[in-house]
Chain A
Amino acid sequence: MSVLPFPSFLDDVKEKGLKRAALEGINEVVERATAGMNLQDIREALRGEAASRKPNPRLQPHADGFWLHMRPSYFHKSVTGVYPEFRLGWLSTYFVFFETLTGIFLMIWYTPSPDVAYANMINIMSNVPFGQFVRDLHRLGAEAMVLIVFLHMLRTFFTGSYKKPRQFTWFSGVILLICTMFLSFSGYLLPWDQLALWAVTIGASMIEAAPPEVVGTNLNLLIRGGPDIGANGLLRFYLLHVLAVPAVLFIFTGVHYYKVIVHGHSLPPGEENIGEDTAKRVPLDKRVYFIPDILTSEIMWIAVTTLVLVVLSTWFFHAPLEAHADNQVTPLGTTAPWYFLWIQGALKLGDKVLWGIIFPTIVVVFLLVMPYLDVTKSRRYAHRRFAFTVAFLMLSVMVVFSYMGLPEFGVKTSADSEILYHMLMEPAHNHMGVLRPIPYDELVPGVYTTEQLHTEDYDGDIGTALASFNTELEESGLHSRLDQFLAVTQHLELNNLTFTAVPADAPELLEGLEKLEHELELYPTELPGAWAAIIVTEPQAGLKRVDVVISWLDVQIENGRPVMDANGELLFNLDENGEIARRVTGQYMYIHEDSQYFAAPGV
């Protein structure tokens, strides 16, 4: 007999036998854990059968359990389909938890200091099992979360769900959208690579434009922690990322969902009028119970979403990590994250204060107060043509501005810099230099030129064409100038600067040369009479150096454009002998045989 005031498990075993006692014990534990549903209840629910006992045990977890007390016990049948909600709200919530969990994993391996942050990233990728995988998931999840929260907002707009009585729900949702964007943005800086530093530098420099000057300067100092982003700035962004913004996000997630429940999920526009509150007025025949229908649906949605993320992270997506952050080196083509591209595009229209501060502020304030301004009487699509027109116009402007935010738009770099960048750039923004993925074995040491592609005057004979080109260079003195340029400026000592044909067993190198020629042809006025060279050397075993040199007639350039005379002829700079001068420029990269550059997806 037990000394306890109730029968012990041992007493049960003696009385009922081991099997039955164990089953009853498990049953009891399950019922306690689910706050009301035993194994039989769960079995019935999952089979889609009606509950066999009363009161309905499926309502019990909503009444007694912590997790389900915040969920309604039944939904209106009209909101349980894909339309009108597309499960975007649920997925947004899921991403909050997903990002938190993956973020905690990464926090274990990360120290927010410029001295070690980048090394931490390398460690996560090279020495922490599942490190790269979780980092990919975290990054992919962040991008997906911004997208899903934005789509959730669009859906709410188009179904008119923000209208009375749900104005504040919308308001809190916009706060969540802003939090999501800033969470993603503040996470950008943490790897402390070039992408991080310069994307955030662009963002922070907009803050500097805030008027009046004293405010902008101090806000900028406050967020960067100094004139440049350094140790202080990184720590601040880290704290914003892991503490401040998540705190606001969690609070507003609670507020937002509370308001959703208080007013009930909004029904499709045709079924619910403005001012109606369906939370507690769902007819019996329209009820779909949370257990089991909504619950199984929600779990299925997150399982499938997680699977998609896992598949993408396993094979198709890797979070970028560029070269170590360097305040001294501004990479070409620096962009803000895609969801802030619209601001970067707007900035190209002119005034930094107007387009960088006032315009985004107006957009955000407009979004926040929009439900209070739009007091039209109907939620039906047909009655909201004006609102839809305004929305589509705004969306179009966003798309156009985002396009304008791309580095391809309106950023004038000299033609030679553009070409060298396209040919040699380090992997960044999902792109890399054209010559980088050439197989190591095909980088045959030698001196090659695009002139080998111009054999029209030599009956297609490359050898003769190159011999003629070599002689021409020698006679014009350009040969020794090139030699000097390589030695003095490029630190390259060559024994023999005689151009030869690309070997037949290096087709990809030849293709690279052809692409280089194609790039030259894109700039007939900026680079008249241009030719280029690819020089491959092998400074160490297993390491090759690839130089790209461009030479062109020195056309006069003003405001980034070639100058022409009244007849439309190009004007050139002349050398001391009164001849048209020739410019020579170049850049180089090193390729190690184990570097494994390969074409980025989509390139």
Chain B
Amino acid sequence: MKLNRLLIERIDHRILVGTLAFLAIMVLLGWIWINENGRMAAFDRQYLARSIERGAALYAANCSSCHGVDGLGAVGRAPALNSPYLFGHDFLAEIDTELTVLNAERPTAELNGLTERVTEIDARIAELTTERDALIAQMGPAVNIGYDPDSPSRTQRMGWTATLRSLVLTTLVAGRPTSGNYWPQPMASWSQSTGASLRTDQLEDLTNFILNWDKGSNWTLDDLNSVRQFPIYPIDPSTVTIVEGDPRIGATTEIAAVMEGLAMVTGDPQNGQTLYNSAVLGCTGCHANAAVAPLVEGTWTRVTNERLTLPEFAGYTGEQYLAESIIHPNDYTVPTYASGVMPANFGDRLSYQELADMIEYLKTQDQ
């Protein structure tokens, strides 16, 4: 039995097999070496891609209820992340650059008596200014909800000199504790280092997902105009003028007293709708997304057909249920929704007339 002697009988054959195996190993190492840079780059791409996938899942579960499933923000609740403003895309950049160059050239041309050139420049400036105005006019929907075409970059506006990645990541880590002053709820911190739930790698996944919304130079005006909510900035209190108006209801006013106050006024559904959709009150921020709060559509139907049939609302009218839901939202929370989410300060923000307007509007939602 040949095999019964060191596997290979002859020493020269053993040496040959061993040497060939060694050479083959060297060749393979060379092969790996040649391909290594490409492989590492491919791994990076793949890892980033999978990180974005994980970030997307985290976003859907944790962020979409405030920032919108599509990242376009929620009115009165949280700003858009899928927005050219966050990524600092300047739609006017090309025009402004040319205008700057022309405006810089004009005095010199005038000084040197190049009247023909000055006329040419003036014509071009007029043309560009018209183009610019037209472009801004096309941004109307965005401008109406707070977008400033002359300040198109979120990072520049807030004086952030580091990268956008670091802005997103640090915001996720630490949150914006003071943003509760100008949003219904502050941006929470999400990092385990601050006692929250997400690990550093998960925050990086989320950041990768958010930054993946960047379209580079391909942002369009449609993208801009589809943004539902831009960031809002705290207002300097010294610039605020207090306007005397109707007295507020008061957040602690008993519901019986509220109903008495309401009996003195007549509601206007039109004004109620305006108030409801205004960024100031921010109702649609939540009530446009069934995942966060009951939808506005069908409110009155649900109140009369479902809520008032519950034993705890025996003796309630639909108006009383709505008034209590707005002024004392935590007294009752519709099952399947989290309690304590709706701000309990509308009593301090609304007058009786405004509350009556809102209730009249909601009564029209009887689909």
Task: Write the residues of chain A forming the contact surface with B, with a CB cutoff of 8 angstroms.
Answer: 46-48, 80-83, 87, 115, 118-119, 122, 125-127, 129-130, 132-133, 292-294, 296-297, 299-301, 303-304, 306-307, 310-311, 314, 323-324, 326, 484, 487-493, 539-543, 545, 588-596
Contact of B290 among A314, A488, A595 (CB under 8 A): A488
Closest 5 A/B residue pairs (Cβ): A81-B4, A592-B49, A594-B49, A303-B21, A300-B18
Given A48-B12, A539-B70, A592-B53, verify A491-B291 contact (CB < 8 Å): yes
Q: How far is the CA of A541 from the CA of B24 in the complex (A)?
A: 44
Over the window 190-227 of chain B, the binary record of Cβ atoms lying under 8 Å from chain A Cβ atoms (1 yes, 0 no) is: 00000000011110000001001101000000000000
Contact A540 B56, beta carbon cutoff 8 Å: yes
Q: How far is the CA of A75 from the CA of B341 in the complex (A)?
A: 82
Residues in A neighbouring B215, C-beta threshold 8 A: 541
Contact A48 B10, beta carbon cutoff 8 Å: yes
Chain A, Cβ-Cβ closest to B197: A328
Chain A, Cβ-Cβ closest to B52: A592
Q: How far is the CA of A468 from the CA of B40 in the complex (A)?
A: 51
Contact A542 B57, beta carbon cutoff 8 Å: no
Chain A binder among B31-39, B305-313, B342-350, B351-359? B31-39
Q: How far is the CA of A516 from the CA of B52 in the complex (A)?
A: 26
B15 beta carbon closer than 8 Å to chain A:
yes
Residues in B neighbouring A484, C-beta threshold 8 A: 290
Residues in B neighbouring A595, C-beta threshold 8 A: 46, 49-50, 53
Residues in B neighbouring A293, C-beta threshold 8 A: 6, 11
Residues in A neighbouring B24, C-beta threshold 8 A: 307, 310
Over the window 16-28 of chain B, the binary record of Cβ atoms lying under 8 Å from chain A Cβ atoms (1 yes, 0 no) is: 0111011011001
Most buried by A among B14, B31, B44, B290: B14
Given A539-B70, A543-B52, verify A48-B290 contact (CB < 8 Å): no
Q: How far is the CA of A314 from the CA of B33 in the complex (A)?
A: 11
Known: A306-B21, A491-B65. 16 other contacts (CB 8 A): A46-B11, A47-B12, A48-B10, A80-B5, A82-B3, A119-B201, A129-B33, A129-B36, A130-B36, A293-B6, A300-B7, A314-B28, A540-B213, A543-B212, A590-B52, A595-B49
Residues in A neighbouring B65, C-beta threshold 8 A: 491
Q: How far is the CA of A122 from the CA of B39 in the complex (A)?
A: 13
> Could you tell me the distance in whole angstroms from the C-beta of B33 to the nearest C-beta in chain A?
7
Q: How far is the CA of A289 from the CA of B52 in the complex (A)?
A: 62
Residues in A neighbouring B289, C-beta threshold 8 A: 487
Residues in B neighbouring A592, C-beta threshold 8 A: 49-50, 52-53
Contact A543 B18, beta carbon cutoff 8 Å: no
Contact of B56 among A80, A326, A545 (CB under 8 A): A545
Q: How far is the CA of A310 from the CA of B28 in the complex (A)?
A: 8
Contact B50 A48, beta carbon cutoff 8 Å: no
Given A130-B32, A592-B52, verify A300-B17 contact (CB < 8 Å): yes
B332 beta carbon closer than 8 Å to chain A:
no
Residues in A neighbouring B22, C-beta threshold 8 A: 303, 307
Chain A, Cβ-Cβ closest to B15: A296
B336 beta carbon closer than 8 Å to chain A:
yes
Contact of A80 among B6, B25, B290 (CB under 8 A): B6
Residues in B neighbouring A323, C-beta threshold 8 A: 54
Q: How far is the CA of A470 from the CA of B266 in the complex (A)?
A: 45
Contact A300 B53, beta carbon cutoff 8 Å: no
Chain A, Cβ-Cβ closest to B205: A324
> Could you tell me the distance in whole angstroms from the C-beta of A151 to the nearest C-beta in chain B?
16
> Could you tell me the distance in whole angstroms from the C-beta of B11 to the nearest C-beta in chain A?
4
B101 beta carbon closer than 8 Å to chain A:
no
Q: How far is the CA of A341 from the CA of B64 in the complex (A)?
A: 42
Residues in A neighbouring B280, C-beta threshold 8 A: none
Task: Write the residues of chain B forming the contact surface with A, with a CB cutoff of 8 angstroms.
Answer: 1, 3-8, 10-12, 14-15, 17-19, 21-22, 24-25, 28-29, 31-33, 36-37, 39-40, 42-50, 52-54, 56-57, 60-61, 64-65, 69-70, 82, 199-202, 209, 212-213, 215, 289-291, 336
Contact B18 A304, beta carbon cutoff 8 Å: yes
Residues in B neighbouring A492, C-beta threshold 8 A: 60, 69
Contact of A303 among B7, B25, B36, B39 (CB under 8 A): B25
Q: How far is the CA of A132 from the CA of B43 in the complex (A)?
A: 10
For this complex, 20 residue pairs linking A to B, each with C-beta atoms less than 8 Å apart, are A81-B5, A119-B201, A126-B47, A129-B40, A130-B32, A130-B33, A133-B32, A293-B11, A303-B21, A307-B22, A310-B29, A311-B28, A488-B290, A490-B60, A493-B70, A540-B209, A590-B53, A590-B56, A592-B50, A594-B46
Contact of B48 among A300, A301, A311, A594 (CB under 8 A): A594
Chain A, Cβ-Cβ closest to B57: A590
> Could you tell me the distance in whole angstroms from the C-beta of B216 to the nearest C-beta in chain A?
10
Contact A300 B8, beta carbon cutoff 8 Å: yes
Q: How far is the CA of A323 from the CA of B37 in the complex (A)?
A: 24
Chain A, Cβ-Cβ closest to B40: A126
Contact A296 B11, beta carbon cutoff 8 Å: yes
> Could you tell me the distance in whole angstroms from the C-beta of A129 to the nearest C-beta in chain B?
5
Residues in A neighbouring B4, C-beta threshold 8 A: 81-83
Residues in B neighbouring A130, C-beta threshold 8 A: 32-33, 36
Contact A491 B52, beta carbon cutoff 8 Å: no
Residues in B neighbouring A324, C-beta threshold 8 A: 199, 201-202
> Could you tell me the distance in whole angstroms from the C-beta of A288 to the nearest C-beta in chain B?
8
Contact of B39 among A119, A132, A488, A539 (CB under 8 A): A132
Contact of A300 among B14, B32, B70, B336 (CB under 8 A): B14
Residues in B neighbouring A297, C-beta threshold 8 A: 6-8, 14
Q: How far is the CA of A304 from the CA of B5 in the complex (A)?
A: 17
Residues in B neighbouring A115, C-beta threshold 8 A: 200
Q: How far is the CA of A492 from the CA of B40 in the complex (A)?
A: 35
Q: How far is the CA of A485 from the CA of B59 in the complex (A)?
A: 18
Residues in B neighbouring A594, C-beta threshold 8 A: 45-46, 48-49
Q: How far is the CA of A125 from the CA of B8 in the complex (A)?
A: 39
Contact A126 B43, beta carbon cutoff 8 Å: yes
Residues in B neighbouring A82, C-beta threshold 8 A: 3-4, 7
Chain B, Cβ-Cβ closest to A81: B4
Q: How far is the CA of A125 from the CA of B45 in the complex (A)?
A: 12
Contact of A539 among B56, B61, B200 (CB under 8 A): B56
Q: How far is the CA of A36 from the CA of B47 in the complex (A)?
A: 55
Q: How far is the CA of A586 from the CA of B75 in the complex (A)?
A: 29
Residues in B neighbouring A122, C-beta threshold 8 A: 47
Most buried by A among B25, B82, B215: B25
Chain A, Cβ-Cβ closest to B32: A133
Residues in A neighbouring B21, C-beta threshold 8 A: 300, 303-304, 306-307
Residues in B neighbouring A129, C-beta threshold 8 A: 33, 36-37, 40
Contact A589 B53, beta carbon cutoff 8 Å: yes
> Could you tell me the distance in whole angstroms from the C-beta of A575 to the nearest C-beta in chain B?
16
Q: How far is the CA of A488 from the CA of B8 in the complex (A)?
A: 70
Q: How far is the CA of A48 from the CA of B11 in the complex (A)?
A: 6
Q: How far is the CA of A310 from the CA of B47 in the complex (A)?
A: 24
Q: How far is the CA of A75 from the CA of B42 in the complex (A)?
A: 51
Contact A127 B49, beta carbon cutoff 8 Å: no
Most buried by B among A115, A132, A304: A304
Q: How far is the CA of A310 from the CA of B174 in the complex (A)?
A: 47
Contact of A292 among B8, B11, B36, B37 (CB under 8 A): B11
Chain B, Cβ-Cβ closest to A294: B6
Residues in A neighbouring B52, C-beta threshold 8 A: 540, 543, 590, 592
> Could you tell me the distance in whole angstroms from the C-beta of A326 to the nearest C-beta in chain B?
8
Residues in B neighbouring A591, C-beta threshold 8 A: 53
Residues in B neighbouring A543, C-beta threshold 8 A: 52-53, 56, 212
Residues in B neighbouring A119, C-beta threshold 8 A: 201
> Could you tell me the distance in whole angstroms from the C-beta of B100 to the nearest C-beta in chain A?
32
Contact B36 A542, beta carbon cutoff 8 Å: no
Contact B213 A491, beta carbon cutoff 8 Å: no
Q: How far is the CA of A297 from the CA of B4 in the complex (A)?
A: 12
Residues in B neighbouring A81, C-beta threshold 8 A: 1, 3-7
Most buried by A among B11, B24, B336: B11
Q: How far is the CA of A542 from the CA of B53 in the complex (A)?
A: 10
